[in-house]
Structure 1
Amino acid sequence: MHSYEAFQPTIDSAWELLEARFAALPAPLDALARRWLARISDAEKGHRGYFSSQLAPPLVFLPLWLRERLRRDRPAVAPSDEVTVRLVAATMWGYLYIRIQDDLLDESSPERGQTLLGNVCGLELVRLLEADFGGSAAFRSAFERAWIDFSRWTLAEHEQLLSNTPYPLEHFEQHARKVAFARVPLLALCGLAGRTELESKVEALIDQLGVAYGLTNDVVGWQRDLSNGHRTFLLARAGFTRGEPLDEARGKVREALYGHGLLVETLEASAQWQRRAAQSAEELGLAEFAEYTRERLAFLDTLAYEASVVRLRWMLGKESHP
């Protein structure tokens, strides 16, 4: 994405810290790390493209955008380049740790031993944050709240996906708070700059992004989720019931998604939440967020158009086969 390009040098510097740590691991952890990095790689950029793909939320870019705001307002309180790189690296370690947990909860991981690699990720996350921000009692408290929220709502969502209990929008919005760790690097910067009063605005922004991306992820991954028996918010709305024959479920779900336009409706809702997030980002002074939002909305428009085309073909196919 073009909105990410100016910040790629900082991202690359943070990756260098992670790569050096992975390379220094003793056997057999070093081999496990190499296999796992290969697993999250894409064909074009390798593992360094993991956080900047079109589907990925702006996880590691949010603190960089907030740092720019701090530099514009009060350059003296903005963190140095070295501290910023370490903060981004800590953020990456945290997200990789969370990805490992998500893989195991989804039961899609080919190698359960990667939980032991997660030990390294968690250790490095804490080590880096402690070095630069550990002296702040307010940040420690904010980190604990975010970490517990991430854990609480991740578990709540997991239990929901494996049940046939009603799945109201209120619960989905609560589950979207599993992205709470994204608050951590932003609150670290706020604490460093003496702007802890921004915590509520940061939380609102992250919650809104969580819902926006959660809705899109349901759309993009609905076939995988159905095959895995994960009754997501989207599939629950489409009438899926765990335990029913997969062929029957697929036909019913397709009717709701395409025949009734549920896919397009869900993408439109995602765009609305993205606009709310953009408003919160503007209140936080994240000027770069606007360009990212334009790109994100264009991407959602493309997905909605593709879903509309499939819907039209679906309807025409039904008419030709009464």
Structure 2
Amino acid sequence: MPFITHFEASLQAVFSKAQQITAKFPAPLNQTGQAYITQINPLHRSGSQNYLGYLLPYWITEMADVTEEQCEQLALANLFGMLHFFIVDEVMDTGSAESRQKLALSHLFYTQMYGVLHRMHTSDSKIWEYYDRYMADWSLGVAQESESDYFNTDPLRTALKSSLVKIASTGALLLSDQHAFIPAVEQAVDYVLVALQMADDWTDWEADLADGSYNGLLALFRNRWPEQSPITVSKVRKAIYVQGLLTDYVELAYQYEQAHLKLGLKAGYLLEFHGSITASLANDAHNIELSRKKQMEGGLFQTLS
């Protein structure tokens, strides 16, 4: 996958820099912070990973004339910003005894993100207007997630909680005087963020059902079969493996990939990454459909239904 392999050295450099900075945090936050960085490093984990936040500024170099150093700084800002919001989200979900320490660490990550951006952009730069808007989007996404059925009413709103990731692409475009492309790139990133959330929701639907977290796949199930209340694991499994729920889910994912393609952006790596997410979902749906047909042919359909 060129959108990853072409940038592995750059990705390693970004994470190494983040580790060096975090090592200077006061103890014990330095060690905890470094552990978080290792945990999210896609080069240290197997399977499909979220490369968007770390490689977005590099992918945008097809459109934005920014240097390797500027890309690294933008990626570093995104990395620290993602860690900040990851911890805030984690504390909101768990409310554990470790919350105070985690929030302290989160603030340090936030400070590093803001510092990197401030060194790259003057106080009168347009970047701060975008920064304020992305922060407001995050706040709205967090506050309304459990109250609004985003996936069925306005799926793009599922990207709100990750809005700040766009500071990397917007920053790169501003640094290279490519302001006109910002709205289209923002839209493209939103499409990718929706795909990432859909992939996560497919992976996590059982856990989300158990703890009551909002989940796009479960939201689609409720919309398709509103009479199936209360929702149970067995009901959702039947919808997935017998009634084609995942196939419908993938069709929605394809629609957003096609919308991304129609933007006509010269950002091939970003589009390839998006396509890889959709293809993974489609492959799972295809395998389920093949299995269902084989079971029907083998006379086992009654067992499943």
3-state DSSP of counterpart to 2:53: coil
- Alignment match of 2:190 (pick from 207, 211, 227): 207
Q: 1:39 to 1:206 in 2, by over 3 A?
A: closer
1:75 is aligned to: none
Query: Given that residues 259 and 314 in structure 1 are in contact (C-alpha distance below 8 angstroms), is that contact kept between their aligned partners in structure 2?
Result: no
Is 1:177 aligned with 2:196? no
**Deviation by residue 1:47-83 (Cα, 9 ceiling, x = unmatched):** xx59xx524252222211212323xxxxxxx233222
Residue 90 of structure 1: how far off its partner (Å): 0.7
User: Match of 2:53, as an amino acid?
Assistant: L
Q: How many aligned positions are there? A: 298
Match of 1:251 in 2: 234
Q: In structure 1, give the amino acid aligned to 2:8.
A: Q
Q: TM-score, normalised by structure 1?
A: 0.80
Q: What is the root-mean-square deviation of aligned Cα atoms in Å?
A: 2.9
Query: Matches of 1:122 and 1:88 in 2, distance apart?
Result: 14
Q: Which residue of 1 aligns with 2:130?
A: 142
**Cα distance change, pair 110–12 in 1 and its aligned pair in 2 (3 A):** farther
Does structure 2 retain, via aligned residues, the 8 Å contact 1:219–1:234?
yes
Shift of 1:257: 2.4
The question of whether the paired residues in 1 share the 8 Å contact of 2:80 and 2:113 is answered with yes
- For 1:86, give the aligned amino acid: Q
Q: 1:39 to 1:184 in 2, by over 3 A?
A: closer
Q: Distance in 2 between matches of 1:294 and 1:321?
A: 32
1:103 paired residue number: 90
**2:212 maps to what in 1?**
229
Q: Give yes or no for contact 1:275–1:293 (8 Å, CA) kept in 2.
A: no
Q: Which amino acid aligns with 1:276?
A: A
Correspondence for 1:292: 273
CA contact (8 A) 1:274 1:293 kept: yes
The residue identity in structure 1 corresponding to 2:249 is T
In structure 2, relative to structure 1, the CA distance for the partners of 1:301 and 1:128 (3 Å cut) is same
The CA distance in 2 between the partners of 1:82 and 1:310, in whole Å, is 49
Give the deviation of 1:170 after TM superposition.
2.0
Q: Distance in 1 between matches of 2:18 and 2:279?
A: 32
For residues 108 and 274 of structure 1, what CA distance do their matches in structure 2 show?
36
Could you tell me which of 75, 78, 97 is aligned with 1:88?
75
The answer for unaligned runs of 5 or more in structure 2 is: none
Cα deviation for residue 305 of structure 1 reads 2.2
Of 109, 118, 143, the match for 1:130: 118
Question: 5+ residue gaps in structure 1?
Answer: 71-77, 161-165
Query: What is the aligned partner in structure 2 of residue 23 from structure 1?
Result: 23
Asked if the contact 2:73–2:116 (Cα under 8 Å) also holds between the matched residues in 1, the reply is yes
The equivalent of 2:66 in structure 1 is: 79
Paired with 1:54 and 1:182, the residues of 2 have a C-alpha distance of 18
> Which residue in the other structure is 1:64 paired with?
58
Q: 2:91·2:102 contact (CA, 8 Å) conserved in 1?
A: no
Partner SS for 1:185: helix
| Distance of 1:169 and 1:116 partners within structure 2 | 36
SS at match of 1:60: helix
Cα displacement (A) at 1:182: 2.2
Separation in 1 of the partners of 2:300 and 2:86?
40
Give the aligned residue type for 1:223.
E
- Residues 271 and 2 of structure 1: CA distance in aligned 2, closer, same or farther (over 3 Å): same
Mapped to 2, the partners of 1:312 and 1:119 lie a distance apart of 52
Aligned amino acid, residue 256 of structure 1? A
1:156 counterpart = 2:144? yes
**C-alpha separation in 1, matches of 2:127 and 2:268:** 24
Distance in 2, Cα, partners of 1:114 & 1:201: 36
Q: Which residue of 2 aligns with 1:163?
A: none
Which amino acid letter does the alignment assign opposite residue 145 of structure 1? R
